[in-house]
Structure 1
Amino acid sequence: MTNTIKKIIGGITIVEKVFGGLCFAILALLMAMDVGSREIFNEGIEWAQKGAIILMIWGGFIGAALTTAKGGHLRPEIADKLWPEKFKPFLKVIEHLIVTGFCVFLFYLSLEHLQAVQANGDIHPVIVGLPLWVVNIIFPYVFVSMAFRHFVFAIVPSLRPDDYGETSKVLDEFEKEEVGY
């Protein structure tokens, strides 16, 4: 069961890396074409900058999901040193369950917003004819992806990545360098 979940998370991560990379590659190409068009023809691509912003938003939010996969999420660390070491595994489960709940809540809100935009037939104000829901579809996806990962990290601790962002670990490493042990 654990191997199956690990493969699912690995597959999701690969797809997100490819999609995020494509977003930024297309963004760079689009901006280069826009600048080149301005230099050569004295006229840029009308929708290029707005399209690049959409790609940046998509790539950035996919990056947030990938950060979750690597354990690099933001979290409060103020009380980490107050808890006895034996409670930390239990607290990690609680932490991941709370973040799961928060992501599920954001998924719900973004899905509600997406459905409202679709029902209203909203169109992107700059990119003519582009339904606004196409732009916003990234939000529910990312929140459900993050919720899934955090839920897995809560119930299968062996799949949980190290927390790269933990200040206490950084300070411990800094102290080791300063003291020299």
Structure 2
Amino acid sequence: MLLRFIHKLEENIVAFLLVAITLMVFMEVVMRFVFNSGVTWIQEATLYTSAWFVLFGASYGVRIGAHIGVDVLVKLLPDPLRRVAGLIAIALCFVYCALFLLGSWDYLELMYMIGIEMEDLPIPKWMALMIMPIGFVLLVIRFAELGWGILTGQKDGFHLADEGKESMHLAEELAKENANKDSSANNTGASK
């Protein structure tokens, strides 16, 4: 139940951030090229919103298997070894997330103590940078889910986006469409 709530919240936040970035950039372009002016805070707001989008998107990408990876050798392994390789990769991901969590927490603590605000907005910088620990906690949750799936046998490892397979599938579809168009053109030409 809690994970379902987190999944839905994460999807909604990613969608909101994408819309916000798009609207801010559009507004800045219109202000700059139509009215020959601009809004001073939009560039900074877009930058921080993009950071939020990327870190929420990283965790969302792990959840849906959208990240690209090189797993040719792992796919050649037998199932038990593939699962072990997946668990080792997840352990390394936990180490990576722990390092970033500790570093971002120290940085946020420093920003809080110093009391620095953003350059163009009257918002404390530590608030804008809160996405760093939030994003890496979400990644830890995703990796924990994936690790549990591997341990319980529901998954055999990371399910990465397979660009090669998707490209071949698209090429086959295009070839079929072209063949259908050619046969339709030949049938139309033959009937004349």
**Same fold, TM-score > 0.5, yes or no:** yes
Residue 151, structure 1, aligned to residue 144, structure 2: yes
Matches within 5 A, 1:82-161: 83-125=77-119, 127-157=120-150, 158=154
2:159 corresponds, among 145, 158, 163, to 163
Q: Does the Cα contact within 8 Å between 2:86 and 2:158 map onto a contact in 1?
A: no
- For residues 27 and 168 of structure 1, do their structure 2 counterparts lie closer, same or farther at Cα, with a shift above 3 Å needed? closer
RMSD: 3.1
In the other structure, the counterpart of 2:32 is 38
State which of 6, 11, 35 in structure 1 corresponds to 2:5.
Answer: 11
**Structure 1 residue 166: deviation in Å?**
5.3
Higher Rg of the two aligned structures: 2
| TM-score, L = length of structure 2 | 0.72
- Aligned residue number for residue 62 of structure 2: 68
Question: For residues 84 and 160 of structure 1, what CA distance do their matches in structure 2 show?
Answer: 10
Give the superposition deviation at 1:116.
1.0
Identity among equivalent positions (%) equals 19
Deviation of 1:118 (Å): 0.8
In the alignment, the residues of structure 2 paired with residue 47 and residue 107 of structure 1 have an alpha-carbon distance, to the nearest angstrom, of 28
- Cα deviations by residue, 1:58-81 (Å, 9 ceiling, x for unpaired): 112211110011133455536425
Shift of 1:160: 7.6
Q: Per-residue CA shift, 1:106-156, capped at 9, x if unaligned?
A: 11211111111111111212x242211122110111111111221222123
Name which of structure 1's ranges 8-17 and 132-141 shifts more when overlaid on structure 2. 8-17
Instruction: Look up the SS of the partner of 2:81 in the other structure.
Output: helix
Deviation at 1:24, TM superposition (A): 1.8
**TM-score, structure 1 length as denominator?**
0.76
CA distance in 2, matches of 1:55, 1:116: 21
Rounded to whole Å, the distance in 2 between the matches of 1:33 and 1:54 is 16
Measured after TM superposition, the shift of residue 172 of structure 1 is 10
Aligned residues of 2:146 and 2:158 also touching (Cα < 8 A): no
Of 36-45 and 52-61, more deviation after overlay is shown by 36-45
Aligned pair in 2 of structure 1 residues 81, 71: CA closer, same or farther (>3 Å)?
closer
Distance 1:160 1:30 in 2: 42
5+ residue gaps, structure 1, are: 1-6, 175-181
